[in-house]
Amino acid sequence: MATKNGATFIREQLDSILVQLNKEDEILISDDCSRDDTLNIIRSFEDPRIRVLENTVEKGITGNFEAALKASKGDYIFLADQDDVWLPGKVNKMKLALKKYDLAISDCHLVDDNLRLQTTSFYGVNRSGKGLLKNLIKNSYMGCCMAFTRRLKDRVLPFPPDIPIHDFWIGLMAEIYFKVYFMPDVLILHRRHDANASTSGKTSRHSLNQKLVHRYRILKNLFIHRYYAG
């Protein structure tokens, strides 16, 4: 999990995750210099399964997730936003999928600040699905819905410094090197609100030129990785 000034919703999110974990699991949180009560709320859980990394300088969204991934120890890695709610059964269902696939992604409900339903299926509005070309054109890989194996984690790190966003990179690397599964299950409530750190689940505000630049950077780095990194 990556956090930054997430005090409003972080307790509800952690409650929804912790109840699904075993004693040997962990929640690795990388905090990007929060200035609100985020860290105090996290510490108030006093749960040994929660481990916190406190950045001394701001890393941004992608750098913050990279720090968390580098420090993670598990065989299965779940990405988590600070303001969502995980639905019951998410962990077990995705772990079962990861016995056959290296990346599993679930559907989600899009909700507002108060968890009122806005959209029943992100897949439906985004037309999500597998395919390298398809996802280069329109990204289906929303990080908060993704879980993957350690061998995929080892393949995608370190992140190239100029990729537009981490989940785009992870998803396309999985398409190239591993097996991907788009689960039909809705497993999280994904909050959309004015203070979202990322644009996941929102209509992109990037200009056409920005989108083209982002895809150029992704393609360039995929090429470099495929033919030079091995």
Mean pLDDT of the chain: 94
Q: Given a cut of 60, is residue 32 above it in pLDDT?
A: yes
More confident residue, 6 or 203: 6
Q: What is the pLDDT of residues 170-197, one digit of tens each?
A: 999 999 999 999 999 999 999 997 665 5
Q: Given a cut of 90, is residue 214 above it in pLDDT?
A: yes
Q: pTM of this prediction?
A: 0.93
pLDDT band at 226 (very low <50, low <70, confident <90, very high): confident
User: Is 82 in contact with 1 (CB distance < 8 Å)?
Assistant: yes
The CATH number assigned to the domain with range 2-229 reads: 3.90.550.10
Would you list the DSSP string of 33-78? ---SSHHHHHHHT--TTEEEEE-SS--HHHHHHHHHHHH---SEEE
User: Is 166 in contact with 66 (CB distance < 8 Å)?
Assistant: yes
Q: Given a cut of 80, is residue 6 above it in pLDDT?
A: yes
Q: What is the pLDDT of residues 85-141, one digit of tens each?
A: 999 999 999 999 999 999 999 999 999 999 999 999 999 999 999 999 999 999 999
Closest to 47 measured CA to CA, from 69, 72, 73, 25 = 25
Q: Given a cut of 60, is residue 200 above it in pLDDT?
A: no
The total of other beta-carbon atoms located within 10 Å of residue 25's CB is 14
Q: What is the pLDDT of residue 67?
A: 98
Query: For the residues 40-62, what does the mean pLDDT come to?
Result: 97
CA 132 to chain centre: 19
Q: What is the pLDDT of residue 228?
A: 80
Query: For the residues 60-64, what does the mean pLDDT come to?
Result: 97
Sequence-distant (6+) residues with CB within 8 A of 119 are 109, 110, 125
Q: What ranges do the domains of the chain cover?
A: 2-229
